[in-house]
């Protein structure tokens, strides 16, 4: 019974930890395989983008399913606005995932690939590596604002 | 070491540093923007039997915070219903009229916004004080069963950030048999144990939450006690008490008497919580320009501004 109690910690693990897990795992595998060296390709921008997109969708669902105990129209409005924000982030990250994956595929397919194509790929990679933090911080702030909790069964 | 040298010597190292800087700037910007839009929720649960003075205490607390704020930070009421109720209750208090008891039909959370500002991080809190009928506390403390878990009061209490347990000091004097005090002790101890059992974030965080044992209606205690010492038969206090300055010795006497009546409960709470305090309160007794006990309650139970280092820890 005690383990099934919803808690903040479980919410963070379920909504942030699990979706982000592939990123460090993939990075670790690449780090080991590449002879214990870090480079720009150790972490994959496409994996990071899909993880950030999944976080946005998970938090959106958590917000939708957890109702207020006492009615408050203002909080309901805030909740709806936050839901829309996470949905928008989800769409952005899924689109980034699609673009980065497409660019990876094109660069790998065309040999030798033109420089402009590599530059576009690197540009999108940089965008993902910089903005992936946005849904994570937004999620933590939303958790505090709406007291979101989950249980690990 | 070779890997680090490789990292810093390679052409891509500059890009990595640029990315890290951009990441940190984005993180800070996102934190500022989202925290401003979404205030952290801070709930205060009040547990007390019917007619123990919970709504009156909440009203006095808001009256104090409107005038003084929290450490000088303004407290802004949130929502039309909070504004209407607080002002209607304040009017009753000013006229020394009793505040209407809360019923099942008017279960409600008083809401306010607190905005601590600082140079590095601003902190916004959404304060919620749940005003549930005293009957809900009785159910919480004395009854049990799966149905209880679905009640609003139960769900509110097990997720709260601070707790105020209320005991009517006047009733302690009126009830010569000691039955009232015994029931209060048993019920509040059971309520705390139930909280420990069900608190959503576990017993560790619960023991660090503010826990106050407030003895309300100290004016009634003083009035009834002096009447009983003067060999008069104690009576239920009159409905329209008058406001007056509290004498320090009568307040100390009331506090000592309450601590003596509830010594075992107080010892229990002191062991269970690192932020436990007892406070004697009355909305009709004044200390200077403030109502007795209200500034202490506000100081102990309201959210505090954190140092900038503690902001790195997003979980409270």
pLDDT the model gives residue B247: 86
Contact B37, B115 (CB under 8 A): no
Contact between B79 and A130 using a beta-carbon 8 Å cutoff:
no
DSSP label of A40: T
**Which of A72, A142, A144 faces B111 most closely, judged by CB atoms?**
A72
Which two three-digit tokens encode residue A47?
């994996």
Q: Roughly what angle, to the nearest 10 degrees, separates helices A133-146 and A115-131? A: 20
Interface of A with B (CB under 8 A): 5-9, 12, 36-40, 69-70, 72-75, 78, 82, 126, 129-131, 133-134, 137-138, 140-142, 144-147, 149
One pLDDT digit (tens) per residue for chain B, 316 residues: 444 444 444 456 667 788 889 999 999 999 988 988 899 999 999 888 888 888 899 999 999 998 888 888 889 998 888 888 888 888 888 887 777 777 766 677 889 999 887 766 778 899 999 888 877 777 777 776 666 666 777 778 888 999 999 999 988 888 888 888 998 898 888 888 888 887 877 777 888 899 999 999 998 888 887 776 665 554 555 555 667 888 888 889 899 999 999 999 999 999 999 999 999 999 889 888 899 999 999 999 998 876 655 555 544 4
Three-state DSSP at A44 gives coil
Q: Which residue of B has its CA nearest to A9?
A: B201
pLDDT in tens, A13-56: 999 999 999 999 999 999 999 888 877 678 899 999 999 999 99
Could you identify the residue written with the tokens 């595998």?
A29
Question: According to the model, what pLDDT value does residue B4 have?
Answer: 41
Q: Residue A105: its pLDDT value, please?
A: 92
pLDDT for the residue numbered B1? 41
pLDDT of the residue at B241? 62
Q: Is B3 on the interface with A (CB under 8 A)?
A: yes
CATH topology for the B40-312 domain: Rossmann fold (3.40.50)
Query: Is A26 among the domain residues?
Result: yes
Indicate yes or no: CB of A8 within 8 angstroms of CB of B152: no
Q: Are A144 and B201 inside 8 Å of each other by CB?
A: no
Domains: count for chain A: 1
Which residue in A69, A126, A145 is closest to B126 by CB distance? A145
- Looking at the domain assignment, is residue A153 inside a domain? no
At residue A12, the pLDDT reads 95
Test A126 with B315 for CB contact under 8 angstroms: no
Chain B residues within 8 A of A75 when measuring between CB atoms? 126
Number of helices (H), then strands (E), belonging to chain A: the values are 7, 0
Work out the minimum CA distance from B295 to partner chain A, whole angstroms.
26
**Percent over 90 (pLDDT), chain A:** 65
Task: Please state whether the predicted TM-score (pTM) of the whole model is above 0.90.
Answer: no
- Does B315 lie at the interface with A, CB-CB under 8 angstroms? yes
| ipTM of this predicted structure | 0.88
DSSP state of A22: H
Q: CA of A79: which chain B residue's CA is closest?
A: B38
Note the pLDDT tens digit of each residue in A99-124.
Answer: 999 999 998 888 788 889 888 998 99
Give the per-residue pLDDT at B5.
47
Asked if A126 and B198 come within 8 Å (Cβ–Cβ), the reply is no
Q: Which of A9, A40, A134 sits opposite B30 (nearest CB)?
A: A134
How many Å lie between the alpha carbon of A70 and the closest alpha carbon of chain B? 7
Widest pairwise Cα distance in chain B: 94
Q: Which residues pair with B168 in a beta bridge?
A: B216
Is residue A152 assigned to a domain? no
Q: Please list every residue in chain B whose beta carbon sits closer than 8 Å to the beta carbon of residue A17.
A: none
pLDDT at B316: 46
Q: Structural domain of residue A40, as residue ranges?
A: 2-146
d(CA B266, CA B273): 10
Of B34, B155, B200, the CB nearest to A69: B155
Whether the pLDDT of residue A2 is over 70: the answer is no
């Amino acid at each position: 019974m005690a383990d099934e109690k919803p808690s903040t910690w479980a919410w963070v693990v379920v909504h942030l930890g699990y979706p982000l897990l592939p990123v460090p795992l993939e990075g670790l595998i690449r780090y080991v395989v590449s002879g214990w060296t870090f480079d720009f390709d150790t972490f994959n921008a496409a994996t990071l983008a899909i993880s950030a997109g999944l976080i946005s969708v998970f938090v959106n669902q958590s917000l939708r399913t957890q109702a207020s105990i006492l009615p408050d129209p203002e909080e309901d409005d805030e909740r709806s606005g936050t839901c829309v924000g996470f949905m928008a982030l989800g769409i952005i990250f899924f689109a980034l995932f699609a673009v980065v994956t497409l660019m990876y595929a094109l660069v790998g397919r065309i040999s030798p690939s033109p420089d402009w194509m590599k530059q576009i790929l690197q540009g999108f990679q940089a965008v993902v590596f910089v903005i992936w933090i946005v849904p994570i911080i937004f999620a933590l702030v939303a958790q505090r604002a709406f007291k979101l909790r989950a249980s690990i069964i | 070491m070779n890997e680090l040298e490789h990292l810093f010597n390679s052409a891509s190292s500059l890009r990595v540093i640029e990315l890290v800087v951009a990441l940190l700037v984005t993180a800070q910007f996102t934190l500022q923007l989202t925290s401003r839009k979404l205030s952290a929720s801070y709930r205060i649960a009040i547990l007390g039997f019917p007619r123990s003075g919970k709504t009156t205490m909440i009203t006095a607390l808001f009256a104090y915070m409107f005038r003084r704020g929290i450490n000088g930070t303004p407290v802004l009421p949130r929502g039309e219903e909070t504004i209407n109720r607080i002002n209607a209750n304040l009017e009753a208090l000013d006229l020394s009229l009793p505040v209407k008891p809360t019923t099942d039909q008017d279960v409600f959370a008083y809401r306010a916004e607190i905005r601590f500002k600082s140079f590095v991080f601003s902190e916004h809190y959404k304060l919620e004080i749940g005003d549930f009928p005293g009957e809900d506390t009785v159910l919480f403390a004395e009854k049990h069963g799966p149905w209880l878990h679905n009640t609003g009061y139960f769900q509110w209490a097990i997720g709260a950030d601070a707790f105020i347990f209320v005991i009517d000091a006047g009733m302690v004097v009126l009830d010569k048999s000691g039955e009232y005090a015994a029931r209060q002790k048993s019920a509040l101890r059971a309520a705390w144990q139930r909280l420990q059992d069900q608190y959503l974030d576990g017993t560790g965080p619960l023991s660090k939450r503010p826990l106050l044992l407030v003895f309300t209606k100290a004016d009634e205690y003083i009035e009834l006690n002096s009447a009983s010492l003067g060999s008069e038969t104690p009576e239920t206090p009159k409905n329209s008490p008058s406001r007056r300055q509290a004498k320090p010795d009568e307040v100390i006497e009331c506090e000592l008497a309450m601590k003596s009546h509830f010594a075992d409960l107080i010892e229990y709470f002191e062991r269970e919580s690192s932020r436990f305090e007892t406070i004697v309160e009355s909305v009709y007794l004044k200390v200077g320009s403030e109502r007795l006990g209200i500034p202490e309650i506000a100081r102990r139970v309201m959210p505090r501004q954190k140092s900038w280092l503690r902001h790195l820890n997003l979980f409270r």
